[in-house]
Amino acid sequence: MDNDSEDGTGGSPPDNHGGGPWQPPEANEQFDPLAHAGLEATTETPFVVVPRGGAREVGRSCYHVETPFSTFLIDCGLNQGSGGQFPDFRGLDREQIDAVFLTHAHIDHAGGLPVLENQGLLDDEAPILTTAPTAQIAHTMLEDSLKIHRREARRPGRSQQFWSQDVTDVCDRFEPVEYGTDRVEAYAPVSENDPTTFELGAAGHLLGSAWVALQTAGHSIVFSGDLGGRAGYLPDIAKPPSADALITESTYGNKHSHTSTSTAQSNLFEAIAEAVERGAPVLIPTFAVGRAQMILLLLQQRLHTLPGSLTDDVHIVLDGLAQEVTDLYHLHASDDSLFDESLVNMIHESGVSQPFLPDNVTVPDDDADRQRVFDAYDPVEGTNIPIIIAPSGMLTGGNSPRYLAELAARYDDAAVVLTGYQAVGTAGRALQSATRADGEAPTVTPDIDPITPPGDWPSATGSVGWVQEQETGDARLTITVPTEWITTVDGLSAHASQAGLLAFARHVSPDTIGLVHGPHYAQEALQSHLVENVETVDQVTRLAPLSPLAIHAETTNEMATKALEPQPSEQVTLDDQLDSLRETMTALSSAVAEDRNSGLTEAEVRAIVREELKRIQQ
């Protein structure tokens, strides 16, 4: 996949319509989470948040926000793993959404936008409010995502959910805004009496990334988006406002701190230099947005340190979506609100207008250009040694697996440097697992066509072949990669560690914190850490799919607690018996979730629910 996202954890997300243990067993296509919970936004409950993706998973981030005046979405992504690929929109009416706030352009936050358009859920005048770089990068990513979606829709059990016109139409909705505060009414089709304001602040994750704060009727909520603060060329994370509630990512919530960025980058350059010094070609599968530009800047700054004349023998290849995104990075490179002051000063002082492009860079236009890269390389003399930077970062699509096939077919020595998380089931994970287990040379079968027709390879190593896919009968290329080729460089994540997430939460000083965008082990560790270290907090909860979280005008909790599920709203029109029932059902949800994780089948889970309901009714 050419437009994969940084630091996804992969795996199977909750089913779109499966009614997980945190949803009632009777949830069906007509399920409305707000109606089921008996919730609506009022002056007493100024915000109700419904996770429609990105809860208990990393992928398809999408958070539905109800206020007494309007309906918003924060992000709308897709999932690159198996299971529910797009957000779950059940209960939303046509043209209900007044505006979307997009925190950044990674596909797990933006990839579902064309589905919103296709299903008619956006008001005719609803804007997508985001920074200018995010709008531009997202446009590029969505066009590429359509190509991938068409291919995946041909698989058994899949269907196409959006088309080219949907991409065009939804991109026309982008309304670029600067970091800062403004009224929603100035952009969205809401009442002139709607008091809601929004604020975007730098999130330090990638170019143009932002956290989002909403305020209405004197109450406020902050959505972290993906927090970074680790890229030296981006501004630091901007200080968020204090708020009643914080919805925060938790990707590395279990990791107190990362390896320093400088150490990780040194390790990366060392892996590249070792290969170049022995004359071996290098493939760096990379995320197109953020990671590719970091690698390019690193090479631009350090290639001259290679011994002897090796710098002149290196041939850098920048391919796929990464080249288009790099052009957009250069478009904004002199803006000190989007880039770190040191980079902007360097541009002004040196006159370099393209700081992310080292010397000796080739940008292939087609397969003929890619073949010429290998034709120019002389492994005997060690000249024109290619360093190939190409998406996807997990070798799931794009041109990186195609380059991998070329290296395996042509050469006895090469280097494959993995620089990001490799999700379960991807070719990148297969390579990584083989090296960590001291296993045999892994064989992967990516869904690709080779750059060079197989009969035209100048030499045959025996490492590339063909196998027939059982489901479709199609022939798939198989690639066997020597384990000694493979290196994993850790510590390059663009996500904040536990310490960074805590610092952000302390700035917000919320009563309630909802955890999203993280695996269960990271969320559980962060949950305890925040309870113990954020003085203002009354509740830290792991949000669950389609389980509404109500933010009340007044908090009644007297001490910080951990809640495995969002706490239901206390409605003044409901009697004490119903309140008690809801509390019991919340506890039941937690118990069932634990049993589900222990390996119970869906039938066994539902049996537990039925028995507990009978007990409650007695």
The pLDDT of residue 598 is above 80:
no
Alpha-carbon distance of 341 to 192, in angstroms, equals 39
| CB within 8 Å of 594: residues ≥ 6 apart | none
pLDDT of residue 472: 65
Lowest mean pLDDT among 173-187, 304-318, 342-356, 600-614: 600-614
What CATH number should be reported for the domain whose range is 261-488? 3.40.50.10890
Q: Distance between CA 439 and CA 460 in Å, rounded?
A: 24
Among all chains, which residue has been given the structure tokens 């195609």?
Answer: 402
Across the chain, what does the average pLDDT equal?
Answer: 86
Dihedral sign from CA coordinates of 335, 340, 345, 351? negative
Residue 20 has pLDDT above 70, yes or no: no
4 or 545: which carries more pLDDT confidence? 545
229 vs 601, which has greater pLDDT?
A: 229
Q: What is the pTM of this model?
A: 0.85
Which is higher by pLDDT, 597 or 224?
Answer: 224
Q: What is the CATH number of domain 38-257+493-553?
A: 3.60.15.10
Q: Report the alpha-carbon distance of residue 555 to residue 397 in Å, rounded.
A: 48
pLDDT at 595 exceeding the cut of 60: no
For residue 16, the model assigns a pLDDT of 40
Mean pLDDT, range 380-398, rounded to an integer: 93
* pLDDT tens string 427-450: 999 999 998 877 789 999 888 888
Q: Residue 320: pLDDT above 80?
A: yes
Q: Comparing C-alpha atoms, which of 75, 129, 127, 67 is closest to residue 98?
A: 127
Q: Which two tokens stand for residue 127?
A: 């804007």
DSSP 521: H
pLDDT of residue 597: 38
Write down the pLDDT at residue 556: 40
Q: Is the pLDDT of residue 586 over 80?
A: no
Q: H/E/C letters for each residue in 42-92?
A: CCCCCEEEEEEECCCCCCCCEEEEECCCCEEEECCCCCCCCCCCCCCCCCC
User: pLDDT tens-digit profile of 229-288?
Assistant: 889 999 999 999 999 999 999 999 999 999 899 999 999 999 999 999 999 999 999 999
- Residue 344: the pLDDT is 95
| Section 332-359 average pLDDT | 92
Closest CA to 143 of 318, 288, 16, 11: 288
Whole-number percent of the chain with pLDDT over 70: 83
Residue with the larger pLDDT of the pair 589 and 346: 346
In percent, how much of the chain has pLDDT > 90? 69
Q: What is the mean pLDDT of residues 314-321?
A: 95
Q: Is the pLDDT of residue 54 over 80?
A: yes
pLDDT in tens, 508-554: 999 999 999 999 999 999 999 999 999 999 999 999 999 999 999 86
Residues 6+ apart with CB under 8 A from 171: 135, 138, 139, 142
